[in-house]
């Protein structure tokens, strides 16, 4: 159970105009601008739900994920994940979650994938039996047999993403955060990733929160959509709620963005 | 608690082994860099050598005594660089956001940052230091005893702690700004360079600063006096261990930084 109530988060960002003289001036006196990444965000996600979290760039999606995974501390509001406060009991909390940042790798670049997995086994103190059972299952579902022994730098993006997802599930987390998991993938890999996420949710009742710009991801995966724009929750409902007539999903969402002026 | 420490040590070894495996992927590069490190330090050695061709002693220290001093400082620095290099690369971690990855793992942040990079090529510098140390030992006429060997070991421990503390401060500052951190090199690389000679030659003020503020003198000057028999008070054996206190403020600053962490965009 994930509860967010009236959560606000703002960043202080240094600003300056272009040019060398401006850069020198900024050295001595900085101007800051406060950016409200999240203002009064509230939602509840039940166990085993799959939720698509969408919104334009800079809407606050990543900030939400980072707060829920204990990386950032909100300025105000209540955050509870299975009764824990992520940023207060970081260690306890992160044992129970898996996080995939689509644009960053958690695997060691120069060594075979299996070496990174073995390290994760120690990091999460996964019992031997659990580790082997999980590894076997993930290898089968994500077709990793061929990949496990190749160095990460020799994998294609699609292959690497499959390994990343496996890496974040080795410790059987109850909740999985996916931040743009299909970014830059080809059609085959995308479908493979989607299929897997779906199966994971059905088999293990893993709660999945997924941010994406790919509306096909949403269509394939989530019954529920949360739309965020300029740090505010604009819509919380099902895909059918927002569909009008037989317009495609991309048009529908673009229309939605326009309607909310985000 | 004991189980936790055991787990941490195990994980640390695992990190070390994965780093070795990474380094071995590029063997030629590894050996060339190590050789380079060896030669760079050899240069410094030559510098001291030629200097002593002209002067017989500096502030009462002879050639081999200065070598002994420098080699110990170099060993301390190389060890710290090998094992605490992760902090040196920390700005990159903050900039690219891979520190987020660290925060979503159920392990101590420092352990993970340390594990992220071991600079094993520093073995070259270490080797140079060991050669110099051996030369210094055999020519300075030190009367070796159990307590003197202990002093050297304590010097290495204390020195490693001081340099690691500096690296930790450097990393902690990254939480507040990513610009202009070069000035920290004055303290780290600078200390290595100035550590060639016993701190006392730089004057009384410098000695005070390095005794109480950044405790280089505790791991270099005072125990050196004991080693060379210039001062035989036995408490000097343990003085290098006092330098470990330096890790406390460094750690406090780091904790403060982690709480201040803002993360970078997606």
pLDDT tens, B105-158?
Answer: 999 999 999 999 898 889 999 999 999 999 888 888 888 889 999 999 999 999
Does the beta-carbon distance from A66 to B100 stay under 8 Å?
A: yes
Report pLDDT digits (tens) over B5-16. 888 999 999 999
Please name the residues between 176 and 235 in chain A that touch chain B, using a CB distance below 8 Å.
179-180
Report pLDDT digits (tens) over A152-173. 999 999 999 999 999 999 999 9
Residue B41 included in any domain? yes
Q: Supply the Cα-derived Rg of chain B in whole angstroms.
A: 19
Please name the residues between 13 and 42 in chain A that touch chain B, using a CB distance below 8 Å.
none
CB nearest to A94's CB, from B7, B97, B104: B104
Neighboring chain A residues of B107 at a CB cutoff of 8 Å: 91, 123
Strands A76-81, A2-15: pairing is antiparallel
Residue B153 included in any domain? yes
B250 within 8 A of B215, measured Cβ to Cβ? no
Residue B235 included in any domain? yes
Neighboring chain B residues of A73 at a CB cutoff of 8 Å: 259
Residue B120: give the domain boundaries.
26-259
Neighboring chain A residues of B105 at a CB cutoff of 8 Å: 94, 123-124
Does the beta-carbon distance from B261 to A72 stay under 8 Å?
A: yes
CB nearest to A103's CB, from B106, B261, B266: B266
Report pLDDT digits (tens) over B174-231. 888 777 677 788 888 888 888 888 888 888 898 998 888 889 899 999 999 999 888 8
- Cα atoms in the 13 Å half-sphere on the side-chain side of B53: 5
Please name the residues between 151 and 170 in chain A that touch chain B, using a CB distance below 8 Å.
151
Residue B8 included in any domain? no
Q: How far is A32 from chain B (nearest CA, A)?
A: 14
Number of separate domains in chain B: 1
Residue B88 included in any domain? yes
With a threshold of 0.90, tell me whether the complex ipTM lies above it: no
Residue B12 included in any domain? no
Residue B252 included in any domain? yes
Q: What is the longest distance spanned by two Cα atoms in chain A?
A: 62
Cβ count near A246 (within 10 Å): 6
Residue B125 included in any domain? yes
pLDDT over 80 at B264, yes or no: no
Q: What is the mean pLDDT of chain A?
A: 89
pTM of whole model > 0.80? Answer: yes
Taking CA–CA distances from B262, the nearest residue in chain A reads A72
């Amino acid at each position: 159970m994930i509860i967010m109530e009236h959560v606000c988060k703002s960043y202080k960002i240094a600003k300056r105009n272009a040019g060398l003289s401006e850069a020198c001036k900024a050295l001595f006196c900085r101007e800051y601008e406060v950016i409200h990444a999240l203002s009064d965000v509230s939602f509840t996600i039940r166990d085993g739900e799959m939720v698509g979290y969408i919104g334009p760039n800079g809407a606050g999606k990543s900030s939400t994920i980072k707060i829920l995974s204990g990386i950032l501390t909100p300025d105000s509001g209540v955050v509870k994940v299975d009764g824990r406060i992520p940023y207060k009991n970081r260690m306890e909390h992160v044992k129970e979650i898996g996080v995939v940042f689509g644009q960053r790798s958690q695997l060691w670049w120069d060594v075979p994938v299996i070496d990174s997995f073995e390290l994760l086994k120690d990091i999460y103190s996964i019992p031997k039996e659990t580790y082997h059972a999980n590894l076997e299952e993930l290898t089968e579902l994500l077709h990793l047999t061929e990949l496990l022994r190749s160095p990460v730098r020799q994998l294609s993006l699609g292959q690497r993403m499959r390994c990343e997802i496996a890496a974040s599930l080795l410790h059987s987390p109850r909740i999985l955060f996916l931040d743009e998991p299909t970014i830059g993938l080809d059609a085959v890999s995308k479908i493979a990733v989607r299929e897997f996420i779906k199966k994971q949710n059905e088999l293990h009742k893993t709660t999945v929160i997924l941010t994406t710009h790919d509306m096909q991801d949403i269509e394939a995966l989530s019954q529920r959509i949360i739309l965020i724009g300029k740090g505010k929750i604009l819509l919380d409902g099902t895909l059918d709620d927002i569909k009008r007539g037989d317009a495609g999903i991309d048009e529908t969402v673009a229309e939605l963005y326009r309607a909310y002026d985000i | 608690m004991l189980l936790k420490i055991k787990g941490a040590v195990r994980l640390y070894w695992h990190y070390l082994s994965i780093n070795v495996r990474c380094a071995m992927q590029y063997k030629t590069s590894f050996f060339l860099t190590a050789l380079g490190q060896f030669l760079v330090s050899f240069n410094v050695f030559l510098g001291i050598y030629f200097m002593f061709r002209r002067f017989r002693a500096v502030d009462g220290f002879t050639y081999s005594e200065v070598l002994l001093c420098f080699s110990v400082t170099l060993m301390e620095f190389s060890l710290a660089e090998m094992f605490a290099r992760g902090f040196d690369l920390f700005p990159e971690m903050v900039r690219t956001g891979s520190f987020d990855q660290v925060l979503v793992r159920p392990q101590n942040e420092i352990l993970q940052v340390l594990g992220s990079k071991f600079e094993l090529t520093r073995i070259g510098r270490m080797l140079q230091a060991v050669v110099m140390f051996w030369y210094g030992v055999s020519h300075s006429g030190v009367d070796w005893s159990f307590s003197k060997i202990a002093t050297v070991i304590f010097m290495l421990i204390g020195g490693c702690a001081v340099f690691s503390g500096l690296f930790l401060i450097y990393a902690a500052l990254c939480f507040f700004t990513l610009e202009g951190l070069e000035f920290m090199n004055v303290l780290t690389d600078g200390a290595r360079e100035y550590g060639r000679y016993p701190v006392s030659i730089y004057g009384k003020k410098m000695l005070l600063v390095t005794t109480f503020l950044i405790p280089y003198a505790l791991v270099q000057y005072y125990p050196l006096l004991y080693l060379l028999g210039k001062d035989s008070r036995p408490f000097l054996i343990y003085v290098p261990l006092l330098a470990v206190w330096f890790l406390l403020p460094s750690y406090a600053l780091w904790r403060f930084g982690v709480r201040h962490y803002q993360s970078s965009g997606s």
